[in-house]
Amino acid sequence: MSTASANLQVRQIPVLLGGDPNSLKDWAGHWEAGRVLGYVAVIVAGAGLYGAAMGYWRSPVQAGYNLIKFPLVILATTLGNAVLNGMLAPLLGLNLRFRQSLMLVLMTFTIAAAVLGAFAPVVAFIIWNTPSLAGQTQIPWATYNFVQLTQVVVIAFAGLTANVRLSRLLVALSGSERAARKVLFSWLAGNLFLGSQLCWILRPFIGSPGLPVEFLRPNAFEGNFYETVFRAIGHLLSS
Amino acid sequence: MNEPNTPPLIPAPALAGVPASQPPLSPLDAGSEDLAPIPNVVIAIESILRQPRRVIHQVRGPNSGALIAGMVLAAVVCSAVYGVVVGTFSGGVQLWAAPAKVAAGLLLSALICLPSLYIFACLSGSSARLTEVVGLVAGLTMLMTILLIGFAPVAWVFSQSTQSVVAMGALHLAFWFISTYFGLRFLNAGFNACQGRSTGGIRVWMSIFILVMLQMTTAVRPLIGKADTLLPVEKKFFVSHWMDCLKQTYDSEANRGTAQAR
């Protein structure tokens, strides 16, 4: 087999996005370094561009930081949960090898990153049309909420699209909708749990006008996402 | 999980000089007028109005680059011409600023939305390649701007006979909506020919495209009235801008009414 067929070629990206399980089963079944590098490249490009568009609202420097941090969250989540995902799949009825489960998760994130990258120009245009956060002493909440909502919609769409395709692929690989559903939800839960904390550590992605533009906050490794959420709920209930 | 280590097959050219096989544009009869090549931009303009499937077929074929480039050029020229008509309302700087902004704004809107259209096409299972998507967008913008040229005399007559920025803005928007409708209908026909599994994604994209263009009109304001700067200093959502314009008009008419009453 020639080296070229073991790499992710640009013209194969529509096949990946189309999500036809019969086409993708073979790709998911075999670990090929060239194709893995291709997936990583798409994740870095797509998620990086989207992160940069998101961060530009605060400042061009924040955009530059997000170009690195956004893909880093995705890749770190994939690698951090690789062993866990590899173990959960056979336990829940889908007999995958470790590399196959890693390949599936990478393919899913590649689809999401491609969608995010495609929406980066639209998000950048929206950001360009909103007053910049830089130079403001107070957060314009209406504008902030609008931008946040846009981010949520785009990221949710990318995630949903990717996971629908993963779901179809898992059904094709396992032959069982039940097993596929269990594997999908367990991977999602694990990735969300780790991904949320990684986002917390690597914050800010947008930043606040009252705080300086930094790659990481000084207290990045103090506290965690879930503590902050519980504390916020506690304050809300006690107020 | 022990299948041979081969990726899914990408369709390869069957014969030298013959493009990778595409699903045929259906239904088309062999020898139909829709298969005749489009030699120049004038024929392209006529075809997109009378034989849109001819344009769709050419865009999907080999050597579509010249046709696509021609359609983009036609769109730029036609939008600039309509921009001149828009600028005649205020005159002065707007006679060159408005056409530049209309043409640049349209091109920029198409470029901003192009990647997401390609993604939506892929997600829907369409067989459209990137060049075909670019070609369909070029056709969309050319058809839009041709229709705007058709509305140009009407727009000019109103420009010369009203002082109301709001009224002229509403009129231009109405013409733009009608032109966009036909342009998007062409795009939809193009994607139907590419046999995607669903059209939901394309419809979502159409909404995004319309919103981006509407916001672009505010981002490059003023197009109709006058301002101290060529481009706006303050960033505004297009709905806010429209509300502000309406409020301004209402306030000035109320003041005029009060002054006349005195």
Residue of B5, B119, B236 lying closest to A17 (CB–CB): B119
Which pLDDT band, with edges at 50, 70 and 90, does B10 fall under? Answer: very low
Judge whether B26 lies within some domain. Answer: no
Q: Where are the domains of chain A?
A: 4-238
Q: What pLDDT does B100 receive? A: 95
Q: What pLDDT does A19 receive? A: 81
Cβ distance of A5 and B6 shorter than 8 Å: yes
Q: What pLDDT does B11 receive? A: 42
Q: What digits encode the pLDDT tens for the residues A128-185?
A: 888 776 666 666 677 777 888 888 889 889 999 999 999 999 998 888 899 999 999 9
Query: CA-CA distance, B131 to B209, in Å (whole number)?
Result: 19
A5 has pLDDT over 70: no
What percentage of chain A reaches a pLDDT higher than 70? 92
- B208: chain A residues, CB-CB within 8 Å: 122
Q: What digits encode the pLDDT tens for the residues B124-155?
A: 888 888 999 999 999 999 999 999 999 998 99
Judge whether B123 lies within some domain. Answer: yes
Interface membership of B1 toward A (CB under 8 Å): yes
**DSSP secondary structure, chain B, as one string:** ----S-PPPPP--SSTTSPSP-PPPSS--TT-GGGS---SHHHHHHHHHH-HHHHHHHHHSTT-HHHHHHHHHHHHHHHHHHHHHHHTTT-TTHHHHHHHHHHHHHHHHHHHHHHHHHHHHHHTT----HHHHHHHHHHHHHHHHHHHHHHHHHHHHHHHH---HHHHHHHHHHHHHHHHHHHHHHHHHHHHHTT-S-SHHHHHHHHHHHHHHHHHHHHT--SSS--SSSS-SS---HHHHHHHHHHHHHHHHHHHHHHHH-
| Residue A42 CB neighbour total at 10 angstroms | 24
CA dist list (Å): B179 to A101, B68, B148, B164: 49, 19, 6, 23
Our measurement of the distance from residue A35's CA atom to the centroid of its chain's CA atoms, rounded to an integer in Å, reads 19
Question: Contact B63/B19 with Cβ under 8 angstroms?
Answer: no
pTM: 0.79
Amino acid at B170: A
Q: What pLDDT does B138 receive? A: 96
Least reliable range by pLDDT among A3-7, A22-26, B108-112 = A3-7
Å from A234 to nearest chain B CA?
Answer: 37
Q: What pLDDT does A239 receive? A: 63
Cβ distance of B208 and A122 shorter than 8 Å: yes
Judge whether B128 lies within some domain. Answer: yes
Could you report how far apart the first and last alpha carbons of chain B are, in Å?
A: 90
Judge whether B24 lies within some domain. Answer: no
Q: What pLDDT does B30 receive? A: 44
What is the rounded average pLDDT of the residues B184-191?
92
Interface membership of B131 toward A (CB under 8 Å): no
Could you report how far apart the first and last alpha carbons of chain A are, in Å?
A: 67
Residue range of the domain that includes B137: 34-250
Cβ distance of A26 and B3 shorter than 8 Å: yes
Domain count, chain B: 1
Beta-carbon contacts of residue B237 (< 8 Å; ≥ 6 apart) = A129, B215, B218
Judge whether B14 lies within some domain. Answer: no
B106 has pLDDT over 90: yes
B29 has pLDDT over 60: no
Structure tokens at B135: 């070609």
Q: What pLDDT does A225 receive? A: 74
- B10: chain A residues, CB-CB within 8 Å: 9, 11-12, 15
Q: What digits encode the pLDDT tens for the residues B43-90?
A: 999 899 888 999 999 998 888 999 999 999 999 999 999 999 999 998
Judge whether B1 lies within some domain. Answer: no
Judge whether B57 lies within some domain. Answer: yes
Judge whether B226 lies within some domain. Answer: yes
Query: CA-CA distance, A167 to A165, in Å (whole number)?
Result: 5
Q: What are the φ/ψ torsions at residue B10 (nearest 5 degrees)?
A: -95, 130
For the purposes of burial, counting CB atoms within 10 Å of the CB of B172, is it exposed (0-12), middle (13-18) or buried (19 or more)? Answer: buried
Our measurement of the distance from residue A127's CA atom to the centroid of its chain's CA atoms, rounded to an integer in Å, reads 20
What is the rounded average pLDDT of the residues A52-78?
91
Which pLDDT band, with edges at 50, 70 and 90, does B207 fall under? Answer: very high
Q: What pLDDT does A92 receive? A: 87
